[in-house]
Amino acid sequence: MKKNKKDKEKAVSANAQTAGGKRAQSKSIEVSSSDEGTGRRIRRKRGGANSENTIDMEDLRLARKKEKRRRLVKKLIIILIILLLGLAVYITRELWVPKLEGILDRPHDTIVNDGVAQSGNFPIDLNESSVNIIDRMDNNIIIADDSSIRFYDSGGSLRNTVYHNFGNPMIKTAGRRLLSYDNGGYTFRLYNKSGEVYERTIDDQIIYAALAENGNAAIVTQTEQYVACMTVYDANGTEIYRWSYGQRIMDISFTNDGAGCYISAFTTENGEIVSQIHYVEFDNTDELMRSENLDSLVYGVGSNNGGRIWAVGDEKFYLLNQSGEILDSYEYTADMISYSLNEDCAAVLTSGTARGVYRLAIFDCDADNVQPELIIHENGTAEKVSCVDDAVYLLSSDSVDAYDVNGSLLATAEVDGNNTDFVYYNDAVYLMGYREVNKIEFQS
């Protein structure tokens, strides 16, 4: 009995060891699987929360290279399509470029303004004076007569009045300043919107003057030694420069910064008038440019945005380079009536070959020559032309017309025939008649 009991105990112990071994062996079993869709092989160890994933990095690098190649091919295809489209546009350019140019060259729609005179502070009455001048200084409308200079805002309200005792008053405006001088006298004054800045009385007679936006004033006088001498004063009235050449001075045009100027001077050679353009800077005693002889009396001169120089003569219009060499000229077919120029455009108004017909020549600063856009004007007597920015305004007895540099009519308005001068400012035209100044709205 004891022997059987011991045998049973050994059997139970052996079974327990066998079961424990199986449990231990079951914990170390590894299960592997493959994910063919993503190219990753995953190895899992049983153990609940302690299970982990292992990624094959070689397969991941191959997948990334494949994606990069796909993106590169896509970019190359897009670039090829763009190149093919560009080549097609270039090959067919003769078919569509003329049509595009035709669209760009079509005239603009003309704005027809009603020409109705504004009320309120208008009309502004003029004094019964032998001198009536209208001009603009910044946002002020200036009216000068033989006794005073009046400053009005754009609505016609009187801002300031200054009195002078000049026998032959003249004014020049630039930016926010106004220069007044006695033509043939000895006194000149500089004003801003607040009033007089300074007054200077000199020994020699004043025959001409010009003003720069920075306040520099050029006063031309006739002396015992020279027929014309230019003296430049700064904004405080201090003399900073003097120039004379033995020629008569017809016009002065300051540079934008006021540090120099172009001078139109003339003389006679063999009984013929000859003009020259001079360029000086006020911190340099030497003349920096002297042009070729121009076979015309040059009334106006100035540089333009094309990097060249315009000169308006009584018989010809000239284009010069910065060295003073004549690049081109345009000869008028009749007498000049009015001219105007700025940095963007220039215009010359002449009488026509037939009675009541006028010719307006418009010059563009970007042109390499001076072959203008010509406009034939037959409606009313043409009086004056004015360049404002890149547009040309023409006053006649019947209308005010605005043109662009291509000669297209931008805007027009009917007016009566009693106007002698005008100023354009801020979508309005201020018309000076014999007895009053009127304002009309003028969209252009």
Is position 371 within any domain?
yes
Q: pLDDT confidence of 108, banded at 50, 70, 90?
A: low
Residue 16: predicted pLDDT: 44
**HEC profile of the chain:** CHHHHHHHHHHHHHHHHHHHHHHHHHHCCEEEEEECCCCEEEEEECCHHHCCCCCCHHHHHHHHHHHHHHHHHHHHHHHHHHHHHHHHHHHCHHHHHHHHHHHHHCCCCCEEECCCECCCCCCEECCCCCCEEEEEECCEEEEEECCEEEEECCCCCEEEEEECCCCCEEEEEECCEEEEEECCCCEEEEEECCEEEEEEECCCEEEEEEECCCCCEEEEEECCCCCCEEEEECCCCCEEEEEECCCEEEEEEECCCCCEEEEEEEEEECCEEEEEEEEEECCCCCCCEECCCECCCEEEEEECCCCCEEEEECCEEEEECCCCCEEEEEECCCCEEEEEECCCEEEEEEECCCCCCEEEEEEECCCCCCCCEEEEECCCCEEEEEEECCEEEEEECCEEEEEECCCCEEEEEECCCCEEEEEECCCEEEEEECCEEEEEECCC
Instruction: Indicate if the pLDDT at residue 163 is higher than 60.
Output: yes
**Residue 95: which pLDDT band, with cuts at 50, 70 and 90?**
low
Mean pLDDT of 314-320: 97
The larger pLDDT score, comparing residue 50 to residue 213, is at 213
Chain centroid to Cα 57, Å, comes to: 63
Decide if 120 is inside a domain.
yes
> Does residue 324 fall inside a structural domain?
no
Q: Give the domain extent around 340.
A: 110-129+333-444
pLDDT at 412 over 90: yes
| pLDDT > 90 in the chain, percent | 70
pLDDT at 138: 93
Question: According to the model, what pLDDT value does residue 59 have?
Answer: 72
Averaged pLDDT for residues 308-333: 97
Q: Which residue has the higher pLDDT, 401 or 54?
A: 401
50-64, 140-154, 271-285, 345-359, range with the lowest pLDDT: 50-64
What integer pLDDT is reported at residue 86 of this predicted model?
A: 84
| Residue 55 pLDDT | 57
Residue 350 Cα distances to 381, 399, 401, angstroms = 11, 17, 16
pTM for the complete prediction?
A: 0.76
Q: What percent of the chain has pLDDT over 70?
A: 84
Residue listed under structure tokens 């045998």: 7
- The answer to whether position 437 is within a domain reads yes
pLDDT of residue 327: 97
Q: Which pLDDT belongs to residue 167?
A: 94
Structure tokens at 173: 């405006």
Specify the range with the lowest mean pLDDT, choosing from 66-75, 102-111, 267-276, 345-354: 102-111
79 in any annotated domain: no
Q: Is the pLDDT of residue 76 over 90?
A: no
Segment 357-372 shows an average pLDDT of: 95
Q: Using 50, 70 and 90 to split pLDDT, how confident is the model at 14? A: very low
Residue 292 lies in a domain: no
* 304 — pLDDT class (breaks 50, 70, 90): very high
> Structurally, how many domains does the chain consist of?
1
- pLDDT above 80 for 376: yes
Higher pLDDT, 14 or 352: 352
CATH number for the domain harbouring residue 344 = 2.130.10.10
pLDDT higher than threshold 80 for residue 264: yes
Q: Which residues, 6 or more positions from 180, have their beta carbon under 8 angstroms from its beta carbon?
A: 144, 149, 164, 166, 169, 170, 171, 188, 189, 191
pLDDT, residue 47, reads 43
The reply to whether 230 falls in a domain is no
Has residue 368 been placed in a domain?
yes
The mean pLDDT of 142-149, rounded to a whole number, is 96
Contacts of range 381-384, beta carbons closer than 8 Å, 24 or more positions apart: 381/356, 381/417, 382/337, 382/338, 382/349, 382/358, 383/337, 383/338, 383/419, 383/420, 383/421, 384/337, 384/338, 384/349, 384/421, 384/422
